[in-house]
Structure 1
Amino acid sequence: MKINALLDVNVVAHETEDEVAVLLELTAPPAPVDAARRQASFQVVLDRSGSMNGRPLEGAKKALVELVRRLEPTDNFGLVTFDHSADVVVPAGPLTDKDAVVNLIEAVHSGGSTDLSSGYMRGLREIRRVAGASGGTVLIISDGHVNAGLQKVEDFQSLTAKAYGDGILTSTLGYGRGYDETLLAAIARSGSGNHVFAENPDAAAAAIAAEADGLLNKVAQAVALTVKFEPSVQFLRLYNDLPGHQIGDGTVMIELGDLYSEEHRVLLLKFKVPAMSALGLAKIASLELAYVELPTLVEHVATIPISVNVVPGDAAAGRVPHPTVRTEMLFQEAQQTKRKASEAFEMGDRATAKQNLGQTRQFLTDALTIAKDGARANIEAELSEVDRMDAMADAVETTVMSKLTRESYHLGTAKRGRDFPPSSFKGEADKTE
């Protein structure tokens, strides 16, 4: 695992409180060329409520058949469907008879109401039977709002966080225009998985294939960053929307989920540094990255000390923030205003949402003015995406805009640095209410 840490400022004035931002860049190792891939475990929890009837359900079934054809016979696959209750369609286990599994998938039909909790808990029970030490992935596919069983976001967050603690990652695929993006995004966040929006069967198939790509190319699992602060140093902010837990005085653990081969990830942290009277190098924190390497299941721990140089006030006065870190700070501020836009769209407040998109564009424009050459293409692509969203905002339903902006926010913060397929919103600009 390649690890690099950059500070926005590496000098602080003595006897003066200050704030220091730290950019952490991770690059996962390539998959071993000559090593056999470990058995993968993939559990699908599929909404078959009445609203899925017709093209949505048929598209999901077709995508799952393609997934089954792609997996190895030794891989574990399971399918649980749910409406007002849960049914185990394909018991989790090796795909020794793919034709039989395909027949079971094709026989799925739509039903009644939407009890996501029963489907998810039944799916967890299935994958826990077979996943073993290498863990697995649960993919929830739903097109609606939960109207039976557990319905509170915090209840689902508790379930998915516990599952992740057991090595089971949870991703969500919001299908169509009616699903609850707040709930599905929260489930993916606490489950350290991905959240994507699929407008149509083709987009759903691409999203399912991308989720399988990540699972089959996974090289590190249970990746966690532990931040340990020196006395009087405070943790001000984690910019990325990732699960974090205080595990002791001055110690915070941040969950990153799994990493696939050669994946790049970026995290941004900010600390409050107390006034220090002693001049010279001063340690303010240490970052400890722990993960389990696949396929060997060997655990690795790498520690990076974070230090600043305490100098006289006049020497610190002329410091210039590191452009790479400052660019990322502006990028992440843009993601926060994008989330506010999503929330406004969800409430049907189109005017406020457009104002938030304008603020998002301004943060990105500011980032572009200081970005180094290597970062400019990414910022420009993000600006183009925001411009397209703004152009769509007057013509496309606010419910759709909320889902598009929420997906974009998730990719820009929780999974910052990861390469993803093109966003679902491309091609939506011509659709009107």
Structure 2
Amino acid sequence: MKMSARPEFDVVALNTSDSVLVLLEVEAPERAPGRARPPATLEVVVDRSGSMTKDRRIEGVVEALHGLVDRLDPTDRFGLVSFNTRVKVEVPAGPLLDKDSLRQRLSQVRAHGGTDLSSGLLRGVQEARRASEDRGATLLLISDGHANQGTTDHDLLREVARDAYLHGITVTTLGYGLGYDEELLGAISEGGAGSALFAEDPDTAGGLIAQETEYLLAKTAQATSMTVRGGEFVERVSMVGETPADRLDDGTLMVELGDLFSGESRRSLLRVSTAVLAEAEKRGAGEDVVLARVELTHVDPVTLASHTETLEVRVRTAWRVDRREADERVRAEELFQEARSAKRRASEAMRRGSREEAARYLRESGARIRRARMAQPFAGPGGIGEEMAGQARAMEAMARQAEDDDARRAAKTFYASGAGGTRGRGSRLFGGRDRSGESFPDSPTGEER
């Protein structure tokens, strides 16, 4: 596992408080060519309430699951739980020893009744834990509606998914159609350190299910977490943007990154707030100080061995800092994180019926990205400048969608894009797409103006 840190500035003042951004980047190991992968465990929890009969949704899911089963090896473990007002274990989780029989069972899934999502999720977690034997698993929850029975509290369901993750199960959600509750499914995926996906039609749903299968089979790091502690003169360390983090009693931040696939890159942005350095008169200008100490832990899916890397983020000190240049990549990441937050606010505005407000959030964020790109010589073709151009175009396209498109579709598009903004970015393993499905092209379609 590779880990690097880029402070916004390379120097801080000794005699004043300060605030410094730090870009942390983690890159998963590449799977060596020809190296056997360990058996994977995938548990699918699918909504079979009456609304899934609309537009042949349940048929589309079943068809996608047939393709998924074809992609898995006999030694992989697969299970299917369905739910309406009652939970049913359609396929007990286990090795795929008889794929023909399994396909017949998949084809018998029928939709009717209400939506007890919580019971389906809980039963799916039980099956995933049983089948994975503590080797780790992925749970994919697919639903097209609002939970109307069982537990519907977002925070409680987030905690269910979080507990599953603490037992080695990453939880990803796929919202299907325009009637589901994106905040509910988003809370579950956040707790489970997975993705929040959105599909309006069977073809898109099938593609996303296939994509998640590919991520599972390419996994080279699981149960990945990062802890961040401030240095000696740091008052507070916090995450920038929408990345969820827990603050421990001693002020340490803990960030759950979940599973990473071969070569995947994840970026996180910290804000480090410093105080006047104690006994500054005893220190000489130019001395290095520690802004933060970062510890990264992950489990190798093949050996189940736990690995830990540590990194100290250091900067120089000076008695006085009159002028300094911000690192362009750190500044770009701050703008990307602002864009994620703008998408989340735009989604909320669309749910309130405020199209103008949603479009304003998106356009203002896109404009800040364009201005920054014009003001700084972001490096070369295919680099961060191209990514900024692609994000600015995406923000403008979303602003137009906020003004003209179906409000429910727009709200879900913005939410999914904001929730998936750092997953897989920087990797070309899956065609330059992040795990929300948003594309950042290798070649621009035109210069930003």
Superposition TM-score, scaled by structure 2 size? 0.91
Is the 2:241–2:341 Cα contact (8 Å) retained in structure 1?
no
Tell me which moved more, 88-97 or 29-38: 29-38
Q: Is the 8 A contact 1:28 1:261 kept in 2?
A: yes
Superposition deviation, residue 425 in structure 1? 8.5
After superposition, where does 1:2-401 map in structure 2 within 5 Å?
Answer: 2-54=2-54, 55-276=56-277, 277=280, 278-279=283-284, 280-313=287-320, 316-369=321-374, 370=376, 371-373=378-380, 374-401=383-410
For the pair 1:412 / 2:427, whether they are aligned, the reply is no
The 2-side partners of 1:335 and 1:372 are apart by 23
- How far does the alpha carbon of each residue in 1:235-258 deviate from its partner, in whole angstroms, 9 at most, with x for none? 343125333222341322111011
Decide whether aligned partners of structure 1 residues 366 and 347 sit closer, same or farther in structure 2, where only a CA change above 3 A counts: same
User: In the TM superposition, what whole-angstrom CA distance separates every residue of 1:338-389 from its partner, at most 9, and x where no partner exists?
Assistant: 2111110111211111111111212221342333331012111112222222
Cα contact 2:48–2:112 (8 A) shared by 1: yes
Distance 1:3 1:239 in 2: 18
State how far apart, in whole Å, the 2-side matches of 1:195 and 1:74 are.
Answer: 28
Distance in 2 separating the partners of 1:242 and 1:129: 30
Instruction: Work out whether residues 359 and 402 of structure 2, in 8 Å CA contact, stay in contact via their aligned partners in 1.
Output: yes
| Alpha-carbon distance in 2 for matches of 1:367, 1:257 | 32
CA contact (8 A) 1:50 1:112 kept: yes
Contact map agreement 1:41 1:136 (CA 8 A) in 2: yes
Alpha carbons of 1:389 and 1:33: their partners in 2 closer, same or farther (altered >3 Å)?
A: same
Pick closer, same or farther for the CA change 1:202–1:147 going to 2, 3 Å.
Answer: same
SS of equivalent to 1:225: strand
Q: Which has the larger displacement, 124-133 or 147-156?
A: 124-133
Q: Which moved more, 1:42-51 or 1:355-364?
A: 355-364
Given that 1:45 and 1:120 are in contact with CA atoms closer than 8 Å, whether structure 2 keeps it comes out as yes
Aligned to 2:445: none
One-letter code of the match for 1:389? Answer: M
Q: Deviations over 1:96-120 (max 9, x none)?
A: 0111111111111111111100101
The answer to whether the 8 A contact 1:230-1:250 is kept is no
Shift of 1:137: 0.4
- Percent sequence identity is 39
Give the structure-1-normalised TM-score: 0.94
Deviation for aligned residue 1:416: 5.0
| 1:276-296 CA-partner distances (Å, limit 9, x unpaired) | 113321113200111112312
User: Following TM superposition, where does structure 1 have runs of at least 4 consecutive aligned residues deviating by more than 4 angstroms?
Assistant: 413-419, 421-426
Asked whether the 8 Å contact 1:4–1:24 carries over to 2, the reply is yes
CA separation in 1, counterparts of 2:64 and 2:240? Answer: 35
Alpha-carbon displacement from aligned partner over 1:250-276 (angstroms, at most 9, x marks no partner): 322111011110111111111101111
Distance 1:399 1:182, change over 3 A: same
Match of residue 411 from structure 2: 402
Cα 1:169/1:425, change in 2 over 3 Å: closer
Structure 2 CA distance for partners of 1:59 and 1:150, relative to 1, 3 Å: same
C-alpha distance in 2, partners of 1:164/1:367? Answer: 38
8 A Cα contact 1:12 1:18, kept in partner: yes
Deviates more, 1:224-233 or 1:50-59: 224-233
The more displaced of 415-424 and 161-170 is 415-424
CA distance in 2, matches of 1:421, 1:4: 20
2 CA distance for matches of 1:15 and 1:422? 44
Compared CA separation, residues 244 and 425, structure 1 to 2 (3 A): closer
Q: CA RMSD in A?
A: 1.7
Amino acid in structure 2 at the alignment position of 1:285: A
Q: Distance in 1 between matches of 2:63 and 2:289?
A: 58
Instruction: Could you tell me which runs of 5 or more consecutive residues in structure 1 were left unpaired when the two chains were aligned.
Output: 427-433
Preserved contact between residue 144 and residue 178 of structure 2 (Cα < 8 Å): yes
Q: What is the match of residue 447 of structure 2?
A: none
CA distance in 1 between counterparts of 2:359 and 2:248 reads: 39
Secondary structure of 1:109's match?
coil
Q: Deviations over 1:15-66 (max 9, x none)?
A: 1000111101121111133432111000000001111005111111100111
Measure the CA separation in 1 of the matches of 2:7 and 2:372: 17
Q: Which amino acid aligns with 1:17?
A: S
Residue range with higher mean Cα deviation, 145-154 or 232-241? 232-241
Q: Is the 8 A contact 1:80 1:122 kept in 2?
A: yes
Partner AA of 2:405 in structure 1: V
For residues 185-208 of structure 1, give each alpha carbon's deviation from its aligned partner in whole angstroms, at most 9, with x where no partner exists.
111111000111101111001100
Q: Name the CA distance, whole Å, in 1 between partners of 2:121 and 2:253.
A: 29
Equivalent position of 1:430 in the other structure = none
8 A contact 2:359–2:400 mirrored in 1: no
Q: In the alignment, residue 310 of structure 2 is paired with which amino acid? A: T
